[in-house]
Amino acid sequence: DTEVTQTPKHLVMGMTNKKSLKCEQHMGHRAMYWYKQKAKKPPELMFVYSYEKLSINESVPSRFSPECPNSSLLNLHLHALQPEDSALYLCASSSQGNQPQHFGDGTRLSIL
Amino acid sequence: GENVEQHPSTLSVQEGDSAVIKCTYSDSASNYFPWYKQELGKRPQLIIDIRSNVGEKKDQRIAVTLNKTAKHFSLHITETQPEDSAVYFCAALYGGGFKTIFGAGTRLFVKA
C-alpha cells in the first residue's frame, strides 16, 4: 500500500499550460517534500515544508510554485515549463526531520 | 558543500552471493543515513537506516555499517536473490534533518 498518494500519475502538458500536481498523506506527518527525478539519476530535493511552512527551497525556478494548504496536502503548481522539466516528480513525507521519508509513486511529467 | 559519493555504480553478483555498496558523506554534522531501493518505474522505498550513535544495524539479510570518523557507511546484502535486483541509493540528511542528499545510485543485478 502507498501511504503517500500522488495525482495524476501521468501528465502531458504544453509549455504554455498551467497545471498542478497533488500529494496527500494521512499519517500525521508534519514534514512534506517535493523531489524531481530524471531517468537513471537520484531524486533531487526541490522544496521542504515543515509544519505547513516552506523551510527549504533549493533554488528552484519560479515556474514551479509549491503550496501546503494543510498538514495533509501538498501541491506543486506548474506554469510555463520547459522541455527539460520533463521528469518524475516525487512527493514524500516524514514525521519530522531526521526520520524515514515515505515516498509516493510519483507523477511522470512530459513537457511538449 | 554537502555531498554523498556512492560506489560502485553497477554491481553484478550471482544468486546467493553477497553484495556491498559503499558511500562517503562530506558533512560531519549529518547524523541520519537511510538506504532506499528503487525498482524500475517504482518509488524509492526505505530498506534500512542508521543513526550516528550506532555502528551497525541488521535486518534479516540486510545490514548497514557506519564509520563516523571516516565518514563512510556501507550496505551489505547477504544471500542475494533475483528480487534484490534494483537501484540502491544511500543518503545523508543535512539542514536540521530535512535536506536529503542522495548518492548517485548503484544498479544491482542478481543473476539466477
Q: Which residue has the cell 531501493?
A: B37
What local confidence, expressed as pLDDT, does residue B95 receive? 74
- Which residues, including other chains, have CB under 8 Å from residue B104's CB and lie 6 or more apart? A41, A42, B5, B6, B9
Residues B7-22: pLDDT tens digits? 999 999 999 999 999 9
Classify each residue of A44-53 as buried b or exposed e, where b means 16 or more C-beta atoms within 10 Å of its C-beta: bbbbbbbebe
Backbone angles phi, psi at B82, to 5 degrees: -55, -35
Q: Give the mutation candidate from B32, B43, B54 for the A interface (greatest A CB count, under 10 A).
A: B43
* Per-residue pLDDT tens listing for chain A (112 residues): 569 999 999 999 998 889 999 999 999 999 999 999 999 999 999 999 999 999 999 999 999 999 999 999 999 999 999 999 999 999 999 999 999 999 999 999 999 9
Round the average pLDDT of chain B to a whole number and report it. 95
- For B56, the grid coordinates are 551497525
DSSP B27: -
What local confidence, expressed as pLDDT, does residue B1 receive? 72
Residues B22-56: pLDDT tens digits? 999 998 889 999 999 999 989 999 999 999 888 99
Tally of CB atoms within 10 A around B65: 17
Tally of CB atoms within 10 A around B42: 13
Backbone angles phi, psi at B95, to 5 degrees: 60, 50
What local confidence, expressed as pLDDT, does residue B96 receive? 81
Q: Do A90 and B43 touch (CB under 8 A)?
A: yes
Q: Do B49 and A55 touch (CB under 8 A)?
A: no
Residues B76-112: pLDDT tens digits? 999 999 999 999 999 999 878 899 999 999 999 999 9
How far apart, in whole angstroms, are the C-alpha atoms of residue B32 and residue B89? 14
- Which residues, including other chains, have CB under 8 Å from residue B34's CB and lie 6 or more apart? A100, A101, B46, B48, B49, B90, B91, B93, B100
Give the gap in angstroms from C-alpha B84 to the nearest C-alpha of chain A: 18
Question: Which residues of chain A neighbour B49 with C-beta distances below 8 Å?
Answer: 100
CA distances from A112 to A11, A42, A89 (A): 11, 23, 16
How far apart, in whole angstroms, are the C-alpha atoms of residue B80 and residue A71? 40
What sign does the dihedral B23-B29-B35-B41 (CA atoms) show?
A: negative
CA distances from A56 to A35, A96, A102 (A): 12, 14, 18
Residue in chain A lying closest to B52 (CA): A98
Residues of A with CB under 8 A from a CB of B: 2, 31, 33, 40-45, 48, 50, 55-56, 90, 96-106
